[in-house]
Amino acid sequence: MMLPLLVGVVLVFNHTAFSASKTPSAILVLGDSLSGAYGISTEQGWVSLLQQHIMDQGYAYRVINASVSGDTTRTGLSRIDAALQQHQPDIVILALGGNDGLRGLAFSEIENSLSNIIQQCQQSDVQVLLAGVRLPPNYGPVYNQKFAALFESLSKRYQVPLVPRMLDQVADYRELLQADGIHPTADAQPKIMKNIWAGLEPMLIKP
């Protein structure tokens, strides 16, 4: 039985006061509702927590959340060019694919869209952190293994760092998921942020 898709619309930009003498570097999060604080307040979401953690660690980066609930890799591809031009990020956290998997879209389509997003970023001298997602177990081990391998393959092909499971230590714990069994609760957000941070920190430059 097909699970409900990650639906709704959330577009949140996180702005924090930085030194007026220097425009801080930017990190753009291109994701879906898993990054868009679905069902919780924006401040509770992992992207907002990431912004605060970056500042606490002494880095001068602003985090822009361009996540849209319900987005697929294809719709993300349709938005990336404008997002790169508008925000001029140094790093893109690419956290898409969950909705594609839930819809059972062809791996070739998912791979093509993610490949094009990565290529557009690299052509603009923007680093990419690829965030992998895993599907619910009822999709079967074969499909899930192929889905996970897709992210690993892209990471190797384009030499971009990979967070294998952005929902590691979250997706397998029912108490950390909302009633729909898909979207993480507020309590899960710090865990997601730590997963992303592990891949992101080596990419950052201290001021």
Catalytic residues: 33, 180, 183
**Dist. CA 35–CA 114, nearest whole Å:** 17
- CA–CA distances in Å: residue 144 to residues 28, 169, 190: 27, 17, 25
Q: Which of 64, 69, 49, 160 is nearest to 114 (CA)?
A: 160
Residue type, 41: S
8 A C-beta contact, residue 36 and residue 76: no
Calculate the CA 173 to chain-centre distance: 20
Q: Which of 98, 90, 93 is nearest to 60 (CA)?
A: 90
Element (H, E) at 26: strand 25-31
SS3 131: strand
